[in-house]
Amino acid sequence: MVVRPRPLLGALLALALALTGLVALPSPARAATAVCALACDTLDPSKAQRDTFPVPDRTVNGRVVRLHVSDPDSMAWASIDGGAAGDAVWLDRSWDRGATWEGLLGKASVPGSWTGTRTLMYNITDPVGHRRGWLRACGDAAGVTCTDWVYPKVCDGTVCDGADPGTAAGDDTPVPSTTLFGRTISLHVDHRNGTAWGVVANGGAGDEIWLDRSWDGGASHPEGSSLGRTSVPAGATSTRTALFATRDPRGLLYGGAVRACGREAAHQEGSCTAWARPAPTRARVAADALMASYHTNEGWWRSSWWNSAVALTSVIDFAERSGRHDYDWVIARTYEQNKGVFPAGGRSSDPIEGHFISRAIDDAGWWAVAWLTAYDYTGERRYLDEAVTITEYVHRYWDTGTCGGGVWWDRERTYKNAVTNGLYLWLTTSLHRRIGGDTVWGARAATAADWYLASGMINSSGLVNDGITTGCANNGQTVWSYNQGLAIGAFTQLWRSTGSARYLDTAERLADAAISSPALTRGGVLTESCDLGTASCDDNQKQFKGIFVRHLADLADATGSAAYDTYLAKQADSVWTTDRDPLNRLGQRWAGTAPNPSDWRTQASALGALTAASG
């Protein structure tokens, strides 16, 4: 039976318990919605990769209540020990810094003759929902107590929330300040360390300044409101907040946005600057913004199957060239979550039949490129094996019965085009270079190269048209940058493999044509036909330019050409200066002209430009 205290007695009892640290004052609890990050809520603790105790235990009537955390899993669980049957333990989880919480998560009671029990595991973070959580362990043994929350502070390496702005490595104001009743409210960032703080100036005693922090570009910020809120002291006219981080690697949250907000003492209304993100390096912030769209639970960038393969390749290239390991976990996560079977609509409009294979031959080829890139970076044999499996599938559609060779674009064998054959040529020669003693892939690469050069897809201007007609002639369709880039990359790889000058000559001829022809370059900036005027690129075309610069960078490395390096630098400079907003989001048009939409596809493509110029 539950005895309900009279209102006054109940209030006094709650206050007394709170002051003794036995229980927190009540706050509205929200119903828990299952969260999936690297795993879903209610994972068994026996599967935890690590067991740490980041906050002190709490004792209630001789029972020990403990919070357990596995940072590699971004999950926590609670235990109670030294108890008796009927004692209970659970987790509370808050998404708004403890103002409210989902209570009684995983509540478990000590059974029978046992002396302790534990909950299941729950996620501390929700990167898909762009939320950073706090968790605590609570126990009931004829009285309730809870541990401290974990993790109140965001830490990015050695930099954590709450540091003194005087320790900042720099001071930049990335967005205009705002004014309110004569007060100036400004956002300051330390680009190098990715931290920010707010300043209120020209004010008086009692004026307030704080930061808001958002993990979804300012769309929401319940956990990050009123960070470092502080008031101007008597006799002063300005003050500042502490430093706060804008990345939470432990929580799998990257590219956090911040703004500075303030209030004049005599008025309730406040004013805020625009949202902004620090920019430690060009490529790093582009990668952070790209990762903000990664669906951690599913292991891909949702809604585009082949585009996700190219985005993953861009992330790996960034890691390789920058030496940063922030996203190494993404490689295995993408592989493990997507190597299986999916029905139509699950990952693509076509069914995925396992090993990243579907009826679209070129889609499979892009995944083989991603896994070869992953193999080069990690050395893990499973990625090379996966690339071999996929490329064997692509090879099944090499057909000498039509046009003397070439790979079909689809299972229905309706079209032989540049993208599928550029992929096949790059993959076969790349496998030959990575498999010791190989003769099979090398022979296939030589045959494919001869066919490609004779196919007519390369026109008289040295540009690659989209494909060939049923009569086996160049179809004169659009010159796309990714077709040009794949051919450059494939013939560069063939030269590395064979030393044959004709392959390197071909790669250079294709590259020189691309950087000099208005079909692909205008004003020195790589430009698709869908980047012109009021045209718009579709979701596929948004990623073409990033593929081109990846392969041009390979040729630049192979030749040491200053002209190619200069061109790559021009792309990166144009992206950075004309195609970027204060949140480091990068658009479709690298020259920055309108209309210029941005999404994760344009972000991955532009990341390719910034990475290619940084090596």
For domain 282-613, give the fold: Glycosyltransferase (1.50.10)
Give yes or no for a contact between 192 and 170, defined as CB atoms under 8 angstroms apart. Answer: yes
Residue ranges of E strands in 239-362: 239-240, 244-245, 257-263, 270-272, 341-342, 352-353
Share of the chain above pLDDT 70, in %: 95
Q: In what order do the strands lie in the sheet with 208-214?
A: 227-231, 208-214, 257-263, 270-272
Q: At what angle do helices 562-578 and 501-516 cross, to 10 degrees?
A: 40
Least Cα distance to 604 among 277, 378, 309, 385 occurs for 309
Quick: pLDDT tens for 98-128: 999 999 999 999 999 999 999 999 999 999 9
For the chain, domain boundaries:
34-152, 156-272, 282-613
Average pLDDT for 480-496: 98
Under the banding of pLDDT at 50, 70 and 90, the label for residue 615 is low
Q: List pLDDT tens digits, range 169-180.
A: 999 999 999 999
Q: What is the pLDDT of residues 217-236, one digit of tens each?
A: 999 998 999 999 999 999 99
Q: Which tokens is 586 given? A: 């990068």
- Decide: 494 and 449 in contact? Cβ < 8 Å: yes
For residue 425, which of 443, 399, 410, 403 has the smallest C-alpha distance? 443
Assigned CATH topology for domain 156-272: Immunoglobulin-like (2.60.40)
- Rounded Cα distance, 101 and 345, in Å: 35
pLDDT in tens, 412-422: 999 999 999 99
Taking the model in full, what pTM does it have?
0.91
Q: What was the pLDDT predicted at 32?
A: 73
Q: What is the DSSP string of 334-390?
A: HHHHHSSEE-TTTSSSSPEESTT--SBHHHHHHHHHHHHHHHHHH--HHHHHHHHHH
Q: What is residue 33's predicted lDDT score, i.e. its pLDDT?
A: 87
pLDDT tens per residue, range 301-334 = 998 899 999 999 999 999 999 999 999 999 999 9
Query: What is the number of residues in the chain?
Result: 615
The answer, yes or no, to whether residue 465 has pLDDT greater than 70, is yes
Taking residues 65-79, report their average pLDDT. 97
Architecture of domain 34-152: Sandwich (2.60)
Interval 184-188 mean pLDDT? 98
Q: Are 179 and 200 in contact (CB under 8 A)?
A: no
Q: What is the pLDDT of residue 5?
A: 32
Task: State residue 10's pLDDT score.
Answer: 34
**What's the whole-number mean pLDDT along residues 1-12?**
30
Cβ pair 289, 216 in contact under 8 A:
no
- Domains 34-152 and 156-272 equal at CATH topology level: yes
| 3-state SS assignment for residue 99 | coil
Determine the average pLDDT of the residues in 375-397. Answer: 98
Asked whether the beta carbons of 161 and 153 are under 8 A apart, the reply is yes
Is 238 strand, coil or helix?
Answer: coil
Mean pLDDT of 3-30: 34
Yes or no: say if 146 and 138 are a contact pair by the CB < 8 Å rule.
Answer: yes
